[in-house]
Structure 1
Amino acid sequence: MNRRRCVAAAITLVCALTILTAPTAAYADPRPSGSGSSGSDSSGSGTGSAGSGSAGSGTERLEAVRQKIDDLYRQAGAATDAYNLATEQSEKQSSEIVKLAQRIVQGQSRITALKKQAGAEARAQYRDSGLPPAAQLMLSGDPDSFLDGADRLRSGQQAQKNLLAEMDQTQKDLTAYTQDAGDQWQKLDANRAKQAKKKKDIQQKIEAAKKLESGLAKKERARLKKLEEDQEFKAQTAWLSSGILKEIDNKASAEGKKAVKFATDQIGKPYVWGAAGPHSFDCSGLTSQAWAAAGDPIPRTSQEQWKQLPHVQVKDMRPGDLIIYFSDATHVGMYIGDGAMVNAPRPGRNVTIGGAGSMPILGVVRPDK
């Protein structure tokens, strides 16, 4: 079965399961909040109580582990966003430093040329017995030559003033460029230090989460994954039970279709923090590369995507739009229609299709306006 048929089948399965198991109670708000029952933001009260006895205690313990792992990955996700932003800023600053260096070289070359020009004029005056041009005119004794020379003198004096003014301005520009370059170097160093700190923080959080998960028996790891899926399914079911799909009926733009195709073509590739393809992605690496492939570049991180891109109502979203999750905008997925989205979930998981409402939705942004 090719990838497109796999995607279609996965969407159909999500919707079919939702219809079969949807609760009868409708939810007034189609957007689960950060304090609601969905996603890893939940406090967990009442989530894992599965009766009394050892079986219940085991489930509660595993649910506590799930929440701890989820929290660690959320923290790693937030640190990853900060790391990616620092990386993006460092790249911009490096590029700016290169431009400033080029301007400094050009300015120095211009100063050298202007000095040569001023030197040539000084030597010409010396060859004329060292007399100033005005004195030479006065001694010429030829009225016509005097008048012609007076015009040339005025032009020459103006040219000399312009030369000196240009030299002065070029020198000021050089000073400003040098100062700007120094400022950019300081920012670059600060961002590199920030990158190193965030990288260490990310690695510590991911390693802590992996250690928790690896400490479980094989059967418990399987149950843990099932608990994650159940939590996501519960949130998605509640979201769809609100009737939101009756309102969401918008078609993708031409660019949106290209972005969706790129994103769904990556299904099965692993999540790797800080990665933006081609073999692995983090959540915003996937969405930013998808829209770059569609010919409409967007910010690299989910937080900057939320800040800079136009917001649209959930009911107005269309395939290709980006769904920003959690109150701190630390996760993003791409809506692909029929209540589904494609995203890179977290370390240890692959790019996959999930329910658009399976995590607390902060809002929706539209890259192609």
Structure 2
Amino acid sequence: MASHRRPKQPSRARVTVLTTAAAAAVAISSQAAQAAPSESPSADEVKAQVDKLYEEAEQATEKYNGAKEKQEKLQKEISTIQDNVAKGQEEVNELREDLGSLASAQYRSGGLDPAVQLFLSADPDDYLEQASTLDKLSSQQVDALEEIQDKQRVLAQDRAEATEKLEDLATTRTELEKKKDEVQGKLAEAQKLLNSLTAAEKAALEAEEERASRDSTERVELASTEETAPASGSSRTTSAYAAAQSVIGSPYVYGASGPSSFDCSGLTSWAYAQAGMQIPRTSQEQANAGTRIYSQSDLQVGDLVIFYDDLHHVGFYAGNGQVLHSPRTGTVVRYESIDNMPFQFGVRI
């Protein structure tokens, strides 16, 4: 006969353990789902991130250029001051020798004046403060002592200025290295993002840029038949713009100012140098190098064009809404639509 016993029920403790384990499994599964990596960014998203990094790199590049320019200027100033100090010290030494010869002659003719003895063994500044001794000296000796005092005063000022500029130079060098590291960090981060793209995605982005560049070139060629050459009346502007056109295709390299590679302000400053005119090195300084033109409709071929709120990018206006510039790392000197960047104003030199 079959047994009619009721099946044995699990103990309350066993039910609790099973329930807890199930809950834990659900929680782990949920956490794993949350922790699962999100989908990789699209090519457009990567491009947007890369463009942002390149913009930040260029901001740092212009600060790097400013620090580098300041360093070079300080080095020249320090060298000039040090040359002046050396020359001034030689003059003081010669004056001391002349005064010593005068004192020797005085000694041979009847004894050395105690006042001259005091000078030859002490600081002439302290000596000249003792006005009561001046009447013991000949007018020739007084003139020599006063000239030495004047030159020593200038030497002291020059040495103090050199010391101050050397301290400024050390600070500038530190800033230069800091900006260099910042630029390289941004560029490395951008390259890492680009490396995450497939070969097909990279090819598509490159093709898109090539199409845009061809369109801009065609617009510039059309403008050359419809618009006049630089109308600012400056032959140097014409020559500078022509120089920039002659290096189309040269690669962008941060901190470079020609002749075979350029950053944005490196291109414009180099082009003007070819025209025999020195303009400031950085885009921010170039923004103040001439008359500002705030309306795009008033721009003329060859005008400098300044972009972004902090004025960290510059190029040449090429006509028909296009600019000639060195855009960013990974590109070359080329024509591009003025609308690709936030226009601030033009500068007519």
Q: TM-score range by the shorter chain?
A: 0.7 to 0.9
Q: Structure 2 CA distance, aligned partners of 1:131 and 1:108?
A: 26
What's the CA shift for 1:277? 1.1
1:194 matched residue in structure 2: 175
Secondary structure in structure 2 of the residue aligned to 1:336: strand
Q: Structure 2 CA distance, aligned partners of 1:249 and 1:353?
A: 17
What's the CA shift for 1:169? 1.1
Identity %: 37
Change (3 A) 1:230 1:361: farther
1:332 matched residue in structure 2: 314
Q: Structure 1 CA distance, aligned partners of 2:112 and 2:179?
A: 70
1:27 matched residue in structure 2: none
Work out whether 1:120 is the aligned partner of 2:101.
yes
What's the CA shift for 1:63? 2.7
1:32 matched residue in structure 2: none
1:87 matched residue in structure 2: 68
CA offsets, 1:263-314, max 9 Å, x none?
0111111111111111111111100000111111111111121244432333
1:204 matched residue in structure 2: 185
Q: How does 1:222-241 map to 2 (within 5 A)?
A: 222-225=203-206
One-letter code aligned to 1:121: L
Q: Structure 1 CA distance, aligned partners of 2:246 and 2:200?
A: 32
Q: Which has the larger radius of gyration?
A: 2
One-letter code aligned to 1:167: I
1:278 matched residue in structure 2: 259
CA offsets, 1:124-156, max 9 Å, x none?
211221287xxxxxxxxxxxxxxxxxxxxx9x8
CA offsets, 1:233-273, max 9 Å, x none?
99x9xxxxxxxxx9999625311111111101111111111
Q: How many residues align?
A: 278
Q: Structure 1 CA distance, aligned partners of 2:230 and 2:81?
A: 46
Change (3 A) 1:116 1:321: same
Work out whether 1:164 is the aligned partner of 2:153.
no
Match of 1:313 among 269, 288, 294: 294
Cα RMSD between the aligned structures?
A: 2.9
1:358 matched residue in structure 2: 340
CA offsets, 1:73-119, max 9 Å, x none?
01100111111111111101110111011101111101111101111
What is the TM-score when the length of structure 2 is the normalising length?
0.73
What is the TM-score when the length of structure 1 is the normalising length?
0.69
Q: Is the CA contact 2:304–2:317 (under 8 Å) kept in the aligned structure 1?
A: yes
Q: Structure 1 CA distance, aligned partners of 2:142 and 2:46?
A: 78
Q: Is the CA contact 2:230–2:302 (under 8 Å) kept in the aligned structure 1?
A: no
Change (3 A) 1:182 1:118: same
What's the CA shift for 1:182? 1.1
Work out whether 1:66 is the aligned partner of 2:68.
no
Match of 1:251 among 224, 231, 234: 231
Q: Structure 1 CA distance, aligned partners of 2:342 and 2:40?
A: 24
Match of 1:268 among 249, 252, 271: 249
Q: How does 1:118-157 map to 2 (within 5 A)?
A: 118-130=99-111, 157=138
Change (3 A) 1:159 1:309: farther
Gapped runs of 5+ residues in structure 1?
1-57, 133-153, 237-245
Secondary structure in structure 2 of the residue aligned to 1:183: helix
Change (3 A) 1:131 1:60: closer
Secondary structure in structure 1 of the residue aligned to 2:316: strand
Work out whether 1:108 is the aligned partner of 2:89.
yes
Q: Is the CA contact 1:250–1:316 (under 8 Å) kept in the aligned structure 2?
A: no
Change (3 A) 1:131 1:167: closer
Choose between structure 1 and 2 for higher RCO, CA contacts under 8 A separated by at least 6 residues: 1
CA offsets, 1:140-195, max 9 Å, x none?
xxxxxxxxxxxxxx9x8433322211111111111111111111111111111111
Change (3 A) 1:356 1:209: same
Q: Is the CA contact 2:272–2:278 (under 8 Å) kept in the aligned structure 1?
A: yes
Secondary structure in structure 2 of the residue aligned to 1:357: helix
Q: Structure 2 CA distance, aligned partners of 1:199 and 1:302?
A: 17
1:151 matched residue in structure 2: none
One-letter code aligned to 1:170: K
Q: Structure 2 CA distance, aligned partners of 1:164 and 1:310?
A: 54
1:346 matched residue in structure 2: 328
Q: Is the CA contact 2:272–2:279 (under 8 Å) kept in the aligned structure 1?
A: yes
Q: Is the CA contact 1:247–1:316 (under 8 Å) kept in the aligned structure 2?
A: no
